[in-house]
Structure 1
Amino acid sequence: MEYYVHTRYGPWHRLRVQVAGGLVAAFAPYLLRLAMIWGDPNLLVGANDGIAVLHLTFVLSLLCILAGSLIMRSMSRYPGVEGSASILPAFSAAFGVMLLVLVMGRIEYNRFVLAGSYGLVLLWFYLVHFKEQRRSLRIGIIPNAPIDPALSQIRRVEPVILDSPEANVGGIDAIAADLRVDMSPEWERRLADYALEGLQIFHIKHLIESLTGRIALEHLSETSYGTLSPSSVYLVVKQVFDWLAALIALIVLLPLLLILALIIRLDSKGPAIFKQRRIGYRGKPFVVYKFRTMTNSAPQTEQRVAAMTQDNDVRITRIGGVLRQTRIDELPQIFNVLKGQMSWIGPRPEAEVLSRWYEDNIPFYRYRHIVRPGITGWAQVNQGHVAELEDVTSKLHYDFYYIKNFSPWIDMLIVVRTAWTMLTGFGAR
């Protein structure tokens, strides 16, 4: 039988291309460390910087990258957003096991090379993931899974109805079916044949979620753990990490924060810090801090309207436009993270007046408060700032997807996308 699953996959999906890029990630810190030693031979005084140790660490990094690549590709994953789910655990496991062996065996290694290789290989494979998402997909739909309107609206996805088990699947990338309902014996046998041919079979609802990064709001979808509550263990671990990262960030960025506050005061009248009452974790109100980006003498208007930011809002100051475009206006929320009111990553907290309005008009809106709000979030990197009910409902699809997949892998993906947003300005408003 013909093997179809790779017929339309681009070069970025090939193992040799991915591994080759990963090997470059190992070469970079290795060569940089060698150059530093050649420039200053005194570095060789330390045992961890011996030439033999550098060579050994480089070889071990290559083995970790190869092992991580194989682990990543062997893990079951959907195309789209969940295609990145295996990157962080696969390479963390490979490098973690290697580090454990080195420590337990008291083997000398170079920390700079090992850590550098780990960080760069993660960046490389996230880049590969983004490139892979740009290719088109032809999805075969079997009769028990009629085309969902959401699937036909996804860019670079072409649904193809398979009228019978004998339908030609040449050029089809994957098969989508409703795996929770009964199907005819003929289709059950054909699906088994597809799997044996190497053609991937996906549950259609899960496939749409992964391709769009959104969850429908017809009902409160369960999380991956079979409950409406996200992992309590990760909630605690995440809060500890958030607090430590915020403390370090405050120490490092304090001079910059003070300089920006002075520039804002000189640019327009009013305080440098904008304070607003918003709804946070478990529906409790709190005061959020931001750098002021609007004039402090805006005309009085209806409270709900005043809380909304419009396109080309005339209230935005000169320096405010730059701060909003780069998301730097959010930096004072480091204090909210230190107070335990916010996380670095999570659904963005809404102004209290807007949140109450949304709760009255949008089913399940309050469910987004089950995790701490974040300085950046999944909805922000996909949709940006919105205020009207229709747009907020769409945004809520993204928030629910984040809550369902509440885990380190999606937080890592948001970090990478936020960095891209800060460079390009998409979604910042």
Structure 2
Amino acid sequence: MVSQRLQPTRQAYFRSHLMAFLSLIDVSAPMLLGLIAAHLLLPRASITLAYSNWLLAAWVAWGAIRGRHAGLRSYRYYESIVIPACALAISLLVLSLVGASSALRFLLAVTLGWGGVMLVTRYLMRRLAPAMVVGVLPGQLGDLPTDPAVRYVVLSSPQQVALQELDELLIDPYQALSPEWAHLLMHAHAAGVPTCTVASLQEELSGRVSVEYLHGARLGEVPFLSSYVQVKVLIDRLVTVLALPVLLPLAGVVALVVLIDSGAPILFFQERVGRDGRLFRMVKFRTMRTDSERSGAAFATPDDVRVTRVGRFLRKFRLDELPQFWNVLSGDMSIIGPRPEQRAFVEHFNQEIRLYPVRHWVRPGITGWAQVVQGYAADTSTTVDKLRYDVFYIKYLSFWMDVRIVFKTLQTILTGFGAR
């Protein structure tokens, strides 16, 4: 919605007070829940150590993970899982180092309690929050992303702008500004009002890179590939090795079920395109008939008739991907990344879709942002959409982005629901 005037200051104050209240709940909940749980679940002698350790871990995790929030609607639900889980991991690590192992029940209770409080408060706050107010500078009323969580305000002159009533300022970095508007931007930075572009706002609202990057010349101006990429391969291998006691028995059960249902071969090998266009043999449990690609490469669809009865179940819970942890150990794949495509598809899309090779800047993954958000791509149009999510992932690649994808993937595995 586009408006010619700002909302009353009362609404801006209401929004800021809600955001402050939400932060207060986030910080105070582990303290109050910890006090209650400590006196109910811990021996008196260990209360001080366990409680202080939990409180410190909770505040460290909250401060390290909580992202920038321009408005209440940008408080993500995943934070209610990731932040308490990281606090739990920190607490367990510290207690194991000091030799205190009797606080597990206490830590599980406060972790679940804090996560529940964060989830409920985020839901209520998002329902109560007024729309995020974005100030639009003159000449910026182009293709503004539409979203009920955003209200655009046309700024006719710098003198009429009250920065405390804005959540963000929308600017065009390629358009020259008058001294008056430039002075306003300086005040905005000093007042803590963030600036955004149409592309960055679209990314924030949709979780995918906008067409502006896919069909323009601005991609090279974005600092892709953080230093995290350098250690990601080590993390992948370490996590895989630590998970082997769980992965191997589970893979054995799946292999037996596939053998009983559709016979040999149990595994399916296929040439896929990896990082920098290198070819590798990807392995997975066979979920289709043995003659499924006799006529050549074809898109997989949610209701694909080539999929076996057991294969449909394995795909629903992503159990067919288990053998790909071998590809992770060999260095061809990562746990998180764009899904690897067949060579024929890659050669076709490299010609049809601008910047399609960008998705091969990183190792392909067992699961990824495009997979958990969108799922299957069945044609060129949906492949373009999938590419937007893949480029978004590469642009914002970080440890916490990977953690978020892991939790979304676990949600699909445990419930059978979600994008696949």
Q: What is the TM-score with the length of structure 1 in the denominator?
A: 0.76
Distance 1:139 1:95 in 2: 37
**Contact 2:287–2:310, Cα closer than 8 Å, also in 1:** yes
* Partner of residue 151, structure 1: 145
Query: 1:291 pairs with 282, 285, 299, which one?
Result: 285
Distance 1:236 1:125 in 2: 36
Match of 2:314 in 1: 323
Q: Is 1:145–1:177's contact at 8 Å kept on the other side of the alignment?
A: no
CA contact (8 A) 2:53 2:91 kept: no
- CA–CA distance in structure 1, aligned partners of residues 218 and 195 of structure 2: 25
- Aligned-partner Cα distance in 1 for 2:369–2:24: 31
Against the structure 1 CA distance between its residues 396 and 127, is the aligned structure 2 distance closer, same or farther, given a 3 Å change threshold?
Answer: farther
- Which amino acid in 1 is paired with 2:283? Y
* Per-residue CA distance 1:137-165 (angstroms, 9 max, x = gap): 3342423462453612x463343333333
Report what 2:4 is aligned to.
none
Q: Is the 8 A contact 2:50 2:103 kept in 1?
A: no
Matched to 1:210, the amino acid is E
Residue among 16, 36, 44 paired with 2:24: 16
- Structure 1, unmatched stretches of 5+, are 35-49
Mapping 1:170-209, distance limit 5 Å: 173-179=167-173, 181-191=175-185, 199-209=193-203
Paired with 1:381 and 1:10, the residues of 2 have a C-alpha distance of: 34
SS at match of 1:295: coil
Q: Please name the residue that 2:238 is paired with.
A: 244
User: In the alignment, which residue of structure 2 is the partner of 1:59?
Assistant: 52
Q: Distance in 1 between matches of 2:120 and 2:395?
A: 24
Number of paired residues? 401
Amino acid at match of 2:335: W
Return closer, same or farther for 1:278/1:99 CA change in 2, 3 Å cut-off. closer
Shift of 1:30: 5.1
User: What is the rounded CA distance, in whole Å, between the counterparts of 1:397 and 1:419 in structure 2?
Assistant: 23
RMSD: 4.3
SS at match of 1:426: coil
Residue equivalent to 1:234: 228
Task: Kindly indicate whether residue 171 of structure 2 is the aligned counterpart of residue 163 of structure 1.
Answer: no
Pick one of 391, 414, 429 that aligns with 2:405. Answer: 414
TM-score, L = length of structure 2: 0.77
CA contact (8 A) 1:137 1:173 kept: no
Which among 365, 372, 397 is matched to residue 374 of structure 1?
365
1:78–1:381 Cα change, 3 Å: farther
Q: CA shift at 1:263, angstroms?
A: 1.2
Which residue in 2 is equivalent to 1:277?
271
Q: How far apart are residue 249 of structure 1 and its match?
A: 2.3
User: Do the aligned partners of 1:144 and 1:178 also contact (CA within 8 Å) in 2?
Assistant: no
Deviations 1:11-47 (A, max 9, x none): 687123323444477579857963xxxxxxxxxxxxx
Rounded to whole Å, the distance in 2 between the matches of 1:260 and 1:107 is 40
Out of 394, 414, 429, the position equivalent to 2:385 is 394
Secondary structure (helix, strand or coil) at the match of 2:176 reads: coil
Partners of 2:329 and 2:383 in 1: CA distance = 28
Q: Deviations along 1:111-142, whole A, 9 cap, x unmatched?
A: 85597599769966985797477867334242
Whole-Å separation in 1 of the counterparts to 2:117 and 2:351: 42
Question: Matched residues, percent identical?
Answer: 30
Shift of 1:181: 3.9
What displacement does 1:96 show?
6.8
Among 126, 132, 137, the alignment partner of 2:131 is: 137
- Offset at 1:350? 0.6
**3-state SS, counterpart of residue 280 of structure 2:** strand
Structure 2 residues without counterparts, runs of 5 or longer = 1-7
What is the alpha-carbon distance in structure 2 between the residues aligned to residue 246 and residue 332 of structure 1? 11
Moved more, 158-167 or 354-363: 158-167
Distance between the aligned counterparts of 2:416 and 2:50, measured in 1?
A: 36
Residues 138, 156 of structure 2: 8 Å contact kept? no
Choose which of 420, 424, 427 in structure 1 pairs with 2:419: 427
